[in-house]
A and B are shown apart, each in its own frame.
Chain A
Amino acid sequence: MSITDIQLEESTASHGDDHHDDHHEQSFISKYIFSTDHKMIAKQFLITGILWAVIGGGLSIIFRLQLGFPGVDLTWLKPILGQWIQEEGTLDPEFYLALVTMHGTIMVFFVLTAGLSGTFSNFLIPLQIGARDMASGFMNMLSYWFFFLSSMIMFISLFLETGPAAGGWTVYPPLSVFQEAIQGSGAGMTLWLVSMVFFIASTLLGGVNYISTVINLRTKGMSFSRMPLTIWAFFITAVIGLLSFPVLVAAALLLVFDRSFGTSFYLSEIFIGGEALPNIGGSPILYQHLFWFLGHPEVYIVLLPALGITSEIISTNSRKPIFGYKAMIGSMLAIAFLSFVVWAHHMFVSGLNPFLGSIFMFLTLIIAVPSAVKAFNYITTLWRGNIVFTPAMLFSIGLVSFFISGGLTGLFLGNSALDINLHDTYFVVAHFHLVMGSASFFGLMAGVYHWFPKMFGRMMDERMGYIHFWLTFVGVYLVFFPLHYIGIAGFPRRYYAFTNFDSFSSFGDLNTFVSIAAILTFGAQFLFMYNFFNSIFRGRKAPKNPWNSTTLEWTTPVNPGHGNWPGAIPEVYRWPYDYSKPGAEEDFIPQTVPLSSTPESNLPHEQELAKNEVVSDAGKVNESH
């Protein structure tokens, strides 16, 4: 509260200073590299995330080549992969596992956590709540640079002679402990752990910042019940991250001890590399508990920001308030809470006590209820809207479609009796790639298309956006939908080839088809990249509020400078979803327009509020608007 006051005072008192700041020539390094400006940090996260997405996606293409065309000659990749291409020209089976592992790690953490939360929490929180910057610009800068450091370490691990970590992105011990078990568990795994520790530090620095900014720096009038759903989503995401990521540090630390200092937290009665090890009494299941205590909330860390972004975009482009604003917040809170008590559904067949399995089955299926509420609310928001199909809107609709398709298959996997036969098959792969991978990725894309004008002051090319959307949307379904079938047929995931099994001798064609679809979908992303980077420099100049949106970020100048608003921070008089309000002339009323200036469109309870409304000078300016 006090911070807000001080900030407000400063901003009104030091009007001249702000103005001065805008024109202050910053050095290249403090403007683009060690920047403490939330907008620049957001762009840094975004571009790093995009580069990681290319690497993570590229790795998946390499293993999809092997799966779609078993034993394919990959000699042409030898210049990059070297010894990992065997003499016959085929992919090394161990490197296949490394590819799978790195694809998962990169996509989950570097692209969909850092790239999504890092970008949009940073960019939108101050802009949408009306703050000059994050609570701590310095911590925010550290957050990015810890992420960068973590990225570098992970990137370097790709080039080790023994390869990067290869025990699956979940790095279960004992496989991740012994280099005798798999080469990647040597130096590659060490770097994986070091990298993750820095990554978690980055996430925590960011999270603390997001939470304190949202609580303390909201502009006057921006009560929690007037916050855009994006901010609610980022806020809840940050809380989840803050509570769950430290547990991953604990898990990783114990793993470090087991790997390097001879402890037995996760190890017991193991005979490997020709000798029986002295470790007794540990439990590999302990690691799984600790890992999934983060790992499951992580799913929502990845998904909630995407859902928040989608709420905003669907509402704006349907020209309609989001349906059930409070229900949306309530369901996000419910999801956040429940996400902490469902983790063991990843462990139904791990040797977990079956009674615990029953408990987690109940809790898991409960989480489907708030998710269903969200899906229905999105659909109802479209109902009787006046829908504008911008690329961002299409990606949002795509997200809802994936969220439903992938969410429904969760009902099979969350049911422990059915999970017995589906566990670790391609059914799981299909499930989470749709509901978490593709849905979040579409949220990221929707966000980029929607807020690009605010980020770079220019518009992205719309038609390229449409082509990108259609290729990606159709492509994603063609890649992941067929996987349900081979999952039901029991095909295990993380298999280099299925040729050794009579049971899995079928579906060769289907796998080829999936691989081709994956390559095309991946290729389509380069169209996006071209559009993105080209538009930064050559895109059409953006108007101030290109989507006729109500939220605060569109009240800033086209290219907001340091401090976001040149004058006083705008004040907020209404919720963010006054679209197509009956009586109003325009089909949107920005949050900065006082209720007292719109008597023609006020609802009865707003009319009451309007009577006692105190409008500041800044508000009066908007009144005339």
Chain B
Amino acid sequence: MFNLVIIVAVVLIIAIIYTIFRVSTLISIAKGDSKERVPASNKSQATLLVLFLVGGIVGFFYYSFGGLDDSFVQPLASKHGVETDFWFWVTMGVTCFVFIITQILLFGFSYKYQFDKDRKASFYPHNNKLELIWTAVPAVVLAFLVLTGWKIWTDITGPAPEEAYEIEVFGYQYGWSFRYPGNDGKLGKYNYLKIDGTNQLGIELADKAAHDDFISNQLHIPKGKPVLLKIRARDVIHSVYMPHFRAQMNAVPGLPTKFWFEPTKSTADMRTETGNPEFNYELVCNKICGRSHFGMKATIVVDEEDDFKQWYKDQEAWLKLNPEYLSQVPEDLQEVAIISAGLENIENTQNVRTQTTSF
């Protein structure tokens, strides 16, 4: 019933507006307005343009400087982010300056030079000097922005420092896994043909560096140390996006990518800084990847380096958690694998081995 009333009201309003329109059109035709060279509302259009300019600029400043309920800048927690943020705001300064000036000129001129039947527009077809100025000035400003951007980009994408912690990031529909190199500090090889229900990352167990690798579903990283992410994907393209670290790199099936950065604030630091005891860093997927793209995330835990090392030590090798995969380890490496995965004290290991041997 209520809906019906609304519909009837809308229809009536439209009908009234339409009638007013038709009537005023007929009146204007009768009065001969249509023969005027310039629209009757020329002046009010010019005024509206200026009002829009003023309203727009006021709104722009109001909302940019605290008018919004939420902060639109994510707290920063990486070393290179300090630089990219700085140059982001420099670019913002430059563009806002140009933005305000040009919009004022655009709408200001529109108002100032609105039609006046006693005036004639000035015939001013070109001025090479002006053209030269506004080719050269943007070119110089842009060159400046490019060169600074280029330097930062080269630093960010350059080789990771030797001491960087290597972690493999693996994206799949719809989640993330993180593989750590284990005690030997070396990530083992992988082979996508080895992927199955348990060995979701396709760890290549023929590689002895893989035996002590462990897997986590959270990304643990140490504060103040460089971290090198080696990124790959299982099915479609995903993107490793970590807004707080100003870091992003696509995860591409068949084409391993990498990104290194240095976190500067631990999760605990950030909880204090934001005053939010629940705060967690998040890694989100930022390349359309299917139905649950919008739910594909992982928590990032940044610890003090000592805590990180402790956590690292406490983790159990993937092979230890899945001892049945010992059968995939070549025979001559099984002994080593048992030791490096920490399987010595587990009883059923022997059975698995026997089974394999008899195989």
Contact = CB atoms under 8 A, between A and B. Distances in A.
Contacts of B87: 415, 417-418
A319 interface: yes
Contacts of A321: 123-125
Contacts of A378: 106
B68 interface: yes
B255 interface: yes
A267 B254 contact: yes
Nearest to A540: B34
B39 interface: yes
B284 interface: yes
A284 B121 contact: no
B291 A94 contact: yes
Interface stretch (B109-117, B208-216, B343-351): B109-117
Interface in B59-118: 60, 63, 68-74, 81, 83-84, 87-88, 91-92, 94-95, 98-99, 102-103, 105-107, 109-110, 113-116
A582 B124 CA distance: 10
Interface string A159-199: 00000000110001011001001100000000000000000
Contacts of B84: 417-418, 420-421
B42 interface: yes
Contacts of B91: 411-412, 415, 418
Nearest to B105: A379
B286 A424 contact: yes
Interface string A287-328: 000000000000000000000000000000011111111110
B198 to A, nearest CB: 13
Contact of B278 (A94, A172, A385, A502): A502
B115 A270 contact: no
Interface residues of A, number: 122
B136 to A, nearest CB: 9
Given A93-B294, A492-B286, A503-B243, A349 B52 contact: no
Contacts of A280: 254
A502 B279 contact: yes
Interface stretch (A19-27, A396-404, A611-619): A396-404
A226 interface: no
Given A362-B150, A492-B241, A498 B248 contact: no
Interface string A228-270: 0000000000000000000000000000000000000001111
A97 B293 contact: yes
B297 interface: yes
B352 interface: no
B72 to A, nearest CB: 4
A137 B38 CA distance: 38
Given A283-B254, A417-B152, A182 B290 contact: yes
A174 B237 contact: yes
B145 interface: yes
A272 B37 CA distance: 67
A182 B236 CA distance: 10
B250 interface: yes
A464 B18 CA distance: 11
A349 B149 contact: no
Given A270-B192, A404-B106, A384 B235 contact: no
Contacts of A509: 69
A507 B73 CA distance: 12
B211 to A, nearest CB: 22
Interface in A369-383: 369, 372-373, 375-380, 382-383
A349 B68 contact: no
Contacts of A324: 125-127, 130-131
B105 to A, nearest CB: 5
A354 B290 CA distance: 28
Interface in B181-239: 192-193, 195, 202, 234-237, 239
B235 A425 contact: no
A463 B44 CA distance: 12
B246 A421 contact: yes
A349 B249 contact: yes
Contact of B126 (A323, A424, A461): A323
A369 B135 contact: yes
Interface in B322-341: none
A205 to B, nearest CB: 32
A580 B254 contact: no
A390 B41 CA distance: 9
Nearest to A491: B243
B25 A501 contact: no
Contacts of B156: 417, 420
B115 A349 contact: no
Contacts of A567: none
B356 interface: no
A420 B202 CA distance: 29
B106 A372 contact: no
A537 interface: no
Nearest to A326: B126
Contact of B41 (A369, A466, A577): A466
Interface in A469-508: 470, 473-474, 477, 481-482, 485-486, 488-490, 492, 494-498, 500-504, 506-507
Given A178-B235, A358-B153, 14 more contacts: A181-B236, A271-B195, A327-B126, A376-B134, A380-B124, A404-B103, A405-B99, A415-B91, A415-B149, A417-B149, A481-B60, A485-B63, A488-B72, A504-B284
14 contacts: A182-B291, A268-B254, A276-B195, A284-B255, A285-B252, A324-B131, A379-B106, A380-B124, A386-B115, A397-B49, A415-B87, A420-B156, A502-B280, A540-B34
Q: Which 8 A-B pairs have the closest CB atoms?
A: A268-B254, A490-B243, A354-B157, A506-B70, A389-B45, A580-B121, A351-B257, A415-B149
